């Protein structure tokens, strides 16, 4: 063995899953190298032997196996780390990078876990980026669907793919996204790492991209002049840019009659508003503006709060925080434990607090309506940031009453309207070419 083989062997001497197998072809020793945790060694060796039996020389074998011949050491190391099979002759005269028989390290296409499509196909994206792109191409067999691939990252090279429909997505937006992706010089470990390269939003609750694991939804948004991004080992499509309308509009809605579609989307909008304003309305009419209530209802509220030791603001914040903690626990805990937490947190704890006169029965009704209304919007991140928006409105309502509640809601609308992604307003209903700056 000479320099190249020894160098690679020394470099990966601390890697127990690295293999170096010796084979003979026309009495010429050749070495097969790779990681057995990424490569099916038995099947890959069988494939090489079959090709060797049909090749008249070692050089012909290398040509038949690969079109990447006589590459430098850096390329060989990168190929090994990516799961390729490297073949080298004993005297370093020839080397080749070969696509091996890979180990099956990805799960098969299954049903969505974080979204529940109705009257639509139930397949979902997986961690393999090529499978995800295939799911899109299966639905859009057109030459106008363009696909661009990139390698991003400094220490961890990660594949990033961009899909768009030529002639529909704005050309300026496509060019700007390509430029921003090419400028990425840091590791992309999370969606937020990618978000930062699409424009800084300090202390922003809203992402530049809308995440979905449903291929039908991604395909529908591609037809709406959007760009879809895929990160390797991430089972979601990242739709750029995200708009406010995305949380109310779902592609499968259009399987219903148009009147029902408008009714469903209106209900989602009402649900989002109720989720943000209902706790603030409760606090404002209880502690600041009780005169807004009718006499009969005011007496009922006063009776329900008898013996409650906390002011309305503290009582509401306690319940809202407990509900948010319960929802977060349900998401993080295994599915076998989640329903138990729901029962303990939602029924036993709530009933115990009412019986102990720590909160009023009316507040329990308000909180229940708030939880239900917050679950109707599309997208996990959208539901999360709506939950956070109600806290500043709640504080303003406790100080200025109904006026503070509407003022906080107005500032929320202004804040959302001020958000842009490459010049496209967050509150736009449709992406047009003249929107891109």
What is this structure's pTM?
0.80
Question: 349 — phi, psi (to 5°)?
Answer: -65, -45
Band (2; pLDDT cuts 50, 70, 90)? low
Task: Quote the pLDDT of residue 81.
Answer: 87
Q: Count the alpha carbons within 13 Å of 86 in the hemisphere toward its beta carbon.
A: 29
- The Cα 358–Cα 144 span in angstroms is 62
Averaged pLDDT for residues 146-172: 88
Averaged pLDDT for residues 83-100: 85
Band (273; pLDDT cuts 50, 70, 90)? very high
Contact 285, 294 (CB under 8 A): no
Kindly state the DSSP code that residue 337 receives in the 8-state scheme: T
Q: Between 177 and 27, where is the model more confident?
A: 177
* Packing angle, helices 361-373 and 295-304, rounded to 10: 100
Q: What is the pLDDT of residues 303-326, one digit of tens each?
A: 778 888 888 889 899 888 888 888
- The Cα 22–Cα 105 span in angstroms is 26
Task: Quote the pLDDT of residue 164.
Answer: 93
Q: Count the alpha carbons within 13 Å of 357 in the hemisphere toward its beta carbon.
A: 7
Task: Quote the pLDDT of residue 338.
Answer: 63
Task: Quote the pLDDT of residue 267.
Answer: 92
Contact 381, 211 (CB under 8 A): yes
Q: What is the pLDDT of residues 358-402, one digit of tens each?
A: 888 888 888 888 988 888 888 888 888 888 899 999 999 999 999
DSSP, collapsed to helix, strand or coil, labels residue 214 as coil
Band (1; pLDDT cuts 50, 70, 90)? very low
- The Cα 374–Cα 110 span in angstroms is 27
Asked if residue 203 has pLDDT above 80, the reply is no
- 41 Cβ neighbours under 8 A, 6+ residues apart: 19, 21, 34
Question: 162 — phi, psi (to 5°)?
Answer: -125, 130
Task: Quote the pLDDT of residue 219.
Answer: 92
Contact 436, 174 (CB under 8 A): no
Averaged pLDDT for residues 259-288: 91
Q: What is the pLDDT of residues 233-270, one digit of tens each?
A: 899 999 999 999 888 888 888 888 889 889 999 999 99
Task: Quote the pLDDT of residue 271.
Answer: 92
Averaged pLDDT for residues 116-134: 85
Q: Between 353 and 225, where is the model more confident?
A: 225
């Amino acid at each position: 063995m000479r320099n190249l083989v020894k160098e690679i062997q020394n470099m990966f001497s601390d890697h127990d899953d690295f293999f170096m197998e010796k084979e003979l072809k026309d009495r010429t020793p050749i070495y097969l190298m790779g990681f057995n945790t990424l490569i099916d060694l038995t099947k890959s060796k069988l494939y090489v032997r079959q090709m060797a039996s049909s090749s008249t020389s070692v050089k012909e074998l290398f040509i038949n196996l690969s079109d990447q011949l006589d590459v430098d050491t850096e390329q060989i190391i990168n190929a090994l780390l990516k799961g390729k099979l490297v073949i080298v002759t004993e005297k370093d005269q020839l080397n080749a990078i070969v696509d091996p028989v890979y180990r099956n390290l990805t799960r098969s296409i299954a049903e969505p876990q974080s979204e529940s499509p109705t009257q639509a196909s139930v397949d979902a994206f997986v961690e393999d980026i090529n499978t995800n792109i295939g799911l899109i191409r299966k639905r859009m067999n057109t030459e106008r669907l363009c696909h661009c691939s990139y390698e991003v990252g400094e220490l961890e090279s990660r594949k990033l793919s961009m899909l768009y429909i030529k002639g529909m997505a704005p050309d300026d937006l496509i060019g700007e996204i390509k430029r921003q992706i090419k400028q990425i010089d840091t590791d992309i470990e999370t969606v937020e790492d990618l978000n930062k390269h699409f424009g800084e939003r300090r202390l922003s609750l809203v992402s530049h991209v809308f995440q979905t694991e449903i291929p039908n939804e991604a395909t529908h948004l591609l037809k709406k002049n959007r760009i879809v991004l895929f990160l390797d080992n991430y089972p979601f499509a990242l739709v750029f840019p995200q708009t406010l309308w995305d949380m109310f509009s779902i592609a499968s809605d259009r399987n219903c009659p148009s009147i029902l579609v408008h009714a469903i989307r209106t209900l989602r909008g009402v649900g989002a508003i109720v989720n943000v304003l209902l706790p603030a309305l409760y606090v404002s009419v209880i502690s600041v503006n009780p005169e807004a209530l009718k006499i009969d209802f005011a007496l009922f509220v006063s009776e329900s709060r008898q013996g409650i030791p906390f002011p309305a603001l503290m009582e509401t914040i306690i319940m809202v925080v407990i509900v948010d903690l319960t929802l977060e626990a349900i998401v993080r805990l295994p599915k076998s434990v989640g329903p138990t937490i729901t029962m303990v947190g939602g029924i036993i704890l709530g009933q115990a607090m009412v019986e102990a006169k720590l909160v009023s029965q009316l507040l329990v009704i308000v909180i229940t309506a708030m939880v239900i209304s917050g679950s109707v919007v599309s997208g996990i991140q959208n539901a999360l940031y709506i939950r956070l928006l109600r806290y500043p409105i709640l504080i303003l309502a406790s100080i200025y009453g109904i006026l503070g509640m509407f003022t906080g809601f107005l500032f929320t609308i202004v804040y959302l309207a001020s958000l842009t992604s490459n010049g496209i307003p967050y509150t736009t209903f449709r992406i047009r070419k003249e929107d891109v700056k």
